[in-house]
Structure 1
Amino acid sequence: MYKLLFLLLVVAGVTLSPVAAVASTPVAPDAVADLPLKHLTEVQRDDGVLSAPVRLDGVALFRVRGVSALPARQRAARIQQEIIALADNPAIDPAAGAVESLPDRVRLSIDGEHLTLLFPADAALEQVPLEVLAEVTLQRVAAAIVKYRKSRSTGSLLTSTGILVAITLVAGLLLYAVNALFAWLNRLIERLVKRRIERIERASHRLIDAAQLWSWVGGLLRGVRALALVAIVLTWLNSALGLYPWTRPFATSIFRLILNPLQKMGVGIVESLPDLVFLVVLAFVVRFLLKATKTFFVRIDRGWIRMENFDRDWAMPTYRIVRILIIAFALVVAYPYIPGSESEAFKGVSIFLGVVFSIGSSSFIANMIAGYSLTYRGAFREGDRVRIGEHVGDVVDVRALSTRLRSLKNEEINIPNSQVLSSAVVNYSTYQSDRGIILHTEVGIGYDVPWRQVEALLLMAAGRTEGLAQSPEPFVLQTAMGDFSVVYQLNAYCREAERMMPLYSALHANIQDVFNEHGVQIMSPHYEGDPAEPKLVPREHWYAAPANSEGG
Structure 2
Amino acid sequence: MQAYRAVLAVFGFFIALVLGVAAHAAEATASAPVAAPAELTYLNRPIVTFRSDLAGASPRIRVQRAADVLERLPERELDQPIDHMQVIFGNEHVTVFRLGDRLLFSLLPTDLDPADPRKFEQLVKDTESRLRSVLDAHKRQIHWPNLIRGVLYAVVATALLLALGWGLNRLRSRMLSLVQRTIEQHLLTRTNKGFDWTGSAFQLARRIVELSAVFAFLALLYLWFVYVLERFPVTQPLGERLGDFLLTLLGRIGQGFLDAIPGLVTVVVIVLITRAVQDLVTNLFEAVQQDRVSIPGLHPDTAGATRRMVSVLIWALGLTFAYPYIPGSQSDVFKGLSVLFGMMLTLGSAGIVNQLMSGMVLIYSRALRKGDLVRVGDTVGVVTELNTLSIKLTNLRKEEITLPNAVVVGNTIRNYTRQAGPGGAMLSTTVTIGYDTPWRQVHAMLVNAALKTDGLVKEPQPYVLQRALSDFYVEYELFAQIPNPLERAPVLSELHAHIQDEFNDAGVQIMSPHFEDQPKEAVLVPKDKWFTPPAKP
TM-score, normalized by length of structure 1?
A: 0.63
Per the alignment, residue 511 of structure 1 pairs with: 499
Q: Does 1:469 align with 2:451?
A: no
Q: Does 1:308 align with 2:294?
A: yes
1:176-211 deviations in Å (ceiling 9; x for gaps) = 779999x99xxxxxxxxxxxxxxxxxxxxxxxxxxx
Q: Does 1:409 align with 2:397?
A: yes
Per the alignment, residue 60 of structure 1 pairs with: 45
Distance of 2:211 and 2:276 partners within structure 1: 31
1:91-149 deviations in Å (ceiling 9; x for gaps) = 88644687685534455677999865433456786754576556434422222223444
- 1:243 is displaced (CA, Å) by 0.9
- 1:400 is displaced (CA, Å) by 2.2
Q: Does 1:144 align with 2:130?
A: no
1:377-420 deviations in Å (ceiling 9; x for gaps) = 44333333333333222322222222222333333333233443
The residue matched to 2:529 in structure 1 has which SS?
coil
Q: Does 1:165 align with 2:159?
A: yes
The residue matched to 2:464 in structure 1 has which SS?
strand
Kept in 1: contact 2:391–2:405 (CA 8 A): yes
Distance of 1:360 and 1:510 partners within structure 2: 56
1:14-36 deviations in Å (ceiling 9; x for gaps) = xxxxxxxxxxxxxxxxxxxxxxx
| Aligned counterparts, 1:486-497, within 5 A | 486-497=474-485
Distance of 2:337 and 2:134 partners within structure 1: 52
Distance of 2:511 and 2:241 partners within structure 1: 99
- 1:81 is displaced (CA, Å) by 6.5
AA of the residue aligned to 1:234: A
Q: Does 1:239 align with 2:227?
A: no
Distance of 1:335 and 1:134 partners within structure 2: 51
Kept in 1: contact 2:47–2:127 (CA 8 A): no
Kept in 2: contact 1:468–1:492 (CA 8 A): yes
The residue matched to 1:469 in structure 2 has which SS?
coil
Per the alignment, residue 430 of structure 2 pairs with: 442
Distance of 1:368 and 1:247 partners within structure 2: 67
Distance of 1:257 and 1:109 partners within structure 2: 35
| Aligned counterparts, 1:210-249, within 5 A | 233-244=218-229
1:211-249 deviations in Å (ceiling 9; x for gaps) = xxxxxxxxxxx99x9999957742542223441569867
Per the alignment, residue 543 of structure 1 pairs with: 529
AA of the residue aligned to 1:284: L
Distance of 1:516 and 1:79 partners within structure 2: 127
AA of the residue aligned to 1:488: Y
Distance of 1:131 and 1:437 partners within structure 2: 103
Kept in 1: contact 2:285–2:303 (CA 8 A): yes
| Aligned counterparts, 1:148-547, within 5 A | 148-149=141-142, 153=147, 156-170=150-164, 173=167, 233-244=218-229, 251=239, 260=248, 263=251, 277-294=265-282, 296=283, 300=287, 306-308=292-294, 314=302, 316-334=304-322, 357-434=345-422, 436-523=424-511, 534=520, 536-537=522-523, 543=529, 547=533
1:330-388 deviations in Å (ceiling 9; x for gaps) = 34444565678788987787667656545543443343344344334443333333333
- 1:466 is displaced (CA, Å) by 1.7
* Residues 483, 314 of structure 1: alpha-carbon distance in 2 compared, 3 angstrom cutoff: closer
- In structure 1, the gaps of 5 or more residues are 1-48, 185-221
- 1:442 is displaced (CA, Å) by 1.4
* Residues 297, 235 of structure 1: alpha-carbon distance in 2 compared, 3 angstrom cutoff: farther
Distance of 2:52 and 2:396 partners within structure 1: 87
Greater mean alpha carbon deviation, residues 502-511 or residues 102-111: 102-111
| Aligned counterparts, 1:60-139, within 5 A | 60-66=45-51, 78=64, 82=68, 86=72, 94-95=78-79, 103=89, 104-106=93-95, 116-120=105-109, 128=121, 132=125, 135-139=128-132
Distance of 1:355 and 1:342 partners within structure 2: 19
Distance of 1:71 and 1:482 partners within structure 2: 117
Kept in 2: contact 1:463–1:470 (CA 8 A): yes
Distance of 1:344 and 1:71 partners within structure 2: 42
* Residues 481, 293 of structure 1: alpha-carbon distance in 2 compared, 3 angstrom cutoff: closer
- 1:489 is displaced (CA, Å) by 1.8
Distance of 1:371 and 1:70 partners within structure 2: 82
Kept in 2: contact 1:474–1:492 (CA 8 A): yes
Q: Percent identity?
A: 28
Kept in 2: contact 1:150–1:156 (CA 8 A): no
* Residues 80, 397 of structure 1: alpha-carbon distance in 2 compared, 3 angstrom cutoff: farther
The residue matched to 1:468 in structure 2 has which SS?
coil
- In structure 2, the gaps of 5 or more residues are 1-35, 179-206
AA of the residue aligned to 2:378: E
- 1:507 is displaced (CA, Å) by 1.4
Distance of 2:266 and 2:168 partners within structure 1: 39
Kept in 2: contact 1:178–1:229 (CA 8 A): no
AA of the residue aligned to 2:400: E
* Residues 458, 97 of structure 1: alpha-carbon distance in 2 compared, 3 angstrom cutoff: same
Kept in 2: contact 1:279–1:334 (CA 8 A): yes
Distance of 1:286 and 1:76 partners within structure 2: 69
AA of the residue aligned to 2:222: L
Root mean square deviation, CA, Å: 5.2
- 1:316 is displaced (CA, Å) by 4.2
Query: Number of residue pairs matched?
Result: 458
* Residues 495, 274 of structure 1: alpha-carbon distance in 2 compared, 3 angstrom cutoff: closer
Distance of 1:226 and 1:418 partners within structure 2: 49
Distance of 2:293 and 2:522 partners within structure 1: 66
Name the structure, 1 or 2, with higher relative contact order (CA <8 Å, separation 6+).
Answer: 1
Per the alignment, residue 188 of structure 1 pairs with: none
Kept in 1: contact 2:449–2:495 (CA 8 A): yes
Distance of 2:62 and 2:326 partners within structure 1: 43
